[in-house]
Amino acid sequence: DTAVSQTPKYLVTQMGNDKSIKCEQNLGHDTMYWYKQDSKKFLKIMFSYNNKELIINETVPNRFSPKSPDKAHLNLHINSLELGDSAVYFCASTSGGNQPQHFGDGTRLSIL
Amino acid sequence: GENVEQHPSTLSVQEGDSAVIKCTYSDSASNYFPWYKQELGKRPQLIIDIRSNVGEKKDQRIAVTLNKTAKHFSLHITETQPEDSAVYFCAASYNDMRFGAGTRLTVKP
């Protein structure tokens, strides 16, 4: 009965590979996010989707492509992985801009 | 867009002492101010929030204050315990939420 679930929890891969992270929420929220948290712990927003439509696209390399098949899912595909992509990626969802965000458990991505 | 600054970046206190973390925001339209606690290896979790129509809110040992005129808000933790050790994030939101850079709180037993 996890509210926001991400898979996989850990992802270890070689530089240059392509990988995907999946996120699903069962809270009925319309808005979902992807955040990147580096070793300094800063939570940097990457993308925001509202009801399957892209709302926020921060300065993120176009190697990162989000996809929202429906409002309960927001997946993140990363092409040509680089060392600097190593981080923890968090998915979150909310019912509105002035409501709490609920975070998934994170995906720790390590690039060798 | 909104810009949130958070201080201090690290804070160390003795068990039983109080801890205060301060944040400022730039967008006067922001009307929702949550605080999140992130324990090591875990996800950020909401611990308390405040809306712009109130100046203070308390929940047991934690309290938040909001000064809309000065555009700053603070988290107060009293009688700190070792399990309060974590990274704390403030955030401000109107349509889009923006987070502060985080404060690493260490409570020494």
Using alpha carbons only, how large is chain B's radius of gyration in Å? 13
- Distance in angstroms (rounded) separating the CA atoms of residues B71 and B78: 23
- Distance in angstroms (rounded) separating the CA atoms of residues A59 and B72: 27
pLDDT exceeds 90 at position A3: yes
Distance from CA of A51 to the nearest CA of B (A): 15
Per the CB < 8 Å rule, is B87 touching A42? no
Per the CB < 8 Å rule, is B96 touching A98? no
Q: What confidence score (pLDDT) does residue B53 get?
A: 86
Q: What confidence score (pLDDT) does residue A30 get?
A: 93
Q: What confidence score (pLDDT) does residue B52 get?
A: 87
pLDDT exceeds 90 at position A40: no
pLDDT exceeds 80 at position B47: yes
CA atoms within 13 A on the CB side of A83: 1
Q: Which helix (H) or strand (E) holds A40?
A: none
Residue-averaged pLDDT of chain A: 93
* Per-residue pLDDT band at A1 (split at 50, 70, 90): low
Per the CB < 8 Å rule, is A97 touching B32? yes
pLDDT above 90 coverage of chain A, percent: 82
Distance from CA of B15 to the nearest CA of A (A): 24
Residues of B in contact with A9 (CB under 8 A): none
Instruction: Tell me the average pLDDT across B14-38.
Output: 97
Please give the angle made by the CA atoms of B75, B88 and B84, to the nearest 5 degrees.
85
Cross-chain CB nearest to B95 (options A97, A103, A104) = A97
Which chain B residue lies closest to A99 (C-alpha atoms)?
Answer: B32
Instruction: Tell me the average pLDDT across B40-69.
Output: 95
Which chain A residue lies closest to B34 (C-alpha atoms)?
Answer: A100
Q: What confidence score (pLDDT) does residue A56 get?
A: 79
pLDDT exceeds 70 at position B104: yes
Per the CB < 8 Å rule, is B32 touching A106? no
Instruction: Tell me the average pLDDT across B25-39.
Output: 96
Residue B100 burial (CB count, 10 A) = 25
Q: What confidence score (pLDDT) does residue A57 get?
A: 80
Tens-digit pLDDT profile for residues A56-108: 788 889 999 999 999 999 999 999 999 999 999 999 999 987 899 999 999 99
Residue B25 burial (CB count, 10 A) = 25
- Distance in angstroms (rounded) separating the CA atoms of residues B89 and B54: 20
